[in-house]
Amino acid sequence: MMTFLKRPPRTFYYSAIAIALLLAAVALPFAHHYYVQRSLITDVEGFGGSVVMEPGGPIWLRSRLPRELTYCFDTPREIHLGNTTVDDGWLANLRDYPSLEMLGLADTNVTDAGLVHLSDMPHLQVLWLSNTAVSDAGLPSLQGLPKLVLFYLDGTRVTEAGITTLRKRLSHVDIQW
């Protein structure tokens, strides 16, 4: 007569898989956020600009991690790209950063076509477009920025008629022209 040995229960095996899946589910969003943040900083610094980040996450954890790993908790608040070669195409990258409060694009290659990428930035408060090729044609893209309070347009192709129209739509904004 043949006896069959019973296999031991695989509780440990299934528990280990469940824990690994749980850790992956928690870690992957942080890893993706870290990658996106580092990509932004690398791109901006590659142009010669700078990024101001607002620290986030629990202080006890930030104090225990190396600075490089805390970027996954940070939120970009300001991007300074003045006097760089940034252009309209690169501005499409900003759609991943709706929390930006300040964007400096003075003395860049930005034109009216690039302004459409800024129209979905609900927290943008300050925008520098001085000495760019922006004209009246691009201004309608910026009329839906609800928190904009300061707007620099000196040295652009914007006319007095464009400023008048913009002031009617954005009466709460201080426009430097």
Q: Is residue 103 part of a domain?
A: yes
Listed in sequence order, the residues at least 6 apart from 82 whose beta carbon sits closer than 8 Å to its beta carbon are 49, 104, 105, 106, 107, 108, 128
Taking the model in full, what pTM does it have?
0.83
Q: Is residue 72 part of a domain?
A: yes
Q: Is residue 54 part of a domain?
A: yes
Q: Is residue 2 part of a domain?
A: no
- Provide the token pair at 27: 């870690």
CATH code of the domain containing 80:
3.80.10.10
Q: Is residue 136 part of a domain?
A: yes
Reference 91, options 114, 112, 109, 108; nearest CA is: 114
* DSSP-derived 3-state class of residue 60: helix
Query: What is the total count of domains within the chain?
Result: 1
pLDDT band at 10 (very low <50, low <70, confident <90, very high): confident
Q: Is residue 1 part of a domain?
A: no
Domain of residue 21: give its range: 15-176
123-170 tens-digit pLDDT = 999 999 999 999 999 999 998 899 999 999 999 999 999 999 999 988
Q: Is residue 9 part of a domain?
A: no
